[in-house]
Each structure stands twice: as structure tokens, then as C-alpha cells.
Amino acid sequence: MNARASLVAEPADLSQLRGWAYYHLGNKQVAKQVFQRLNDHLSNADVRRGLVATSQTDTRR
């Protein structure tokens, strides 16, 4: 995905996929940045779900 993004602008659906990939890899901070950038340009229910998920703290300790 990084190589493709260096050649052409990344569409919103791939950016969302990138955000969820970071989230599921445990990198919530980077995922939140991706979703925040998306929200700045395209605010929809899917992007807001990503923002909510990356803003929640893990209480399973």
C-alpha cells in the first residue's frame, strides 16, 4: 500500500483499510491519525467508527 500511495493519491476506501490494519496490528495512535485525516476530508459513519475505536482505551488488563 505504501508503494502505491507514493505513486498516486490513496482513495478513501484504501485509507480506511490502512487505518484498520494499523488498529488490528496494535498501533492505535497511527490508526487514529489515519482516521482523523479521513474525517477532515470525508466525514461518514465508517470513518467515525474508526475514530471511536481508536479513541477507546483497552480495559482488559
- Per-residue pLDDT tens digits for 6-45: 888 899 999 999 999 999 999 999 999 999 999 999 889 9
Q: Does residue 57 register a pLDDT over 80?
A: no
Q: Does residue 61 register a pLDDT over 70?
A: no
Does the domain made of 2-55 have the CATH classification 1.10.1200? no
Structural domain boundaries in the chain: 2-55
Per-residue pLDDT at 6: 86
pTM (predicted TM-score)? 0.83
The alpha helices in 1-61, defined as continuous H runs, are 2-7, 12-24, 28-41, 45-55
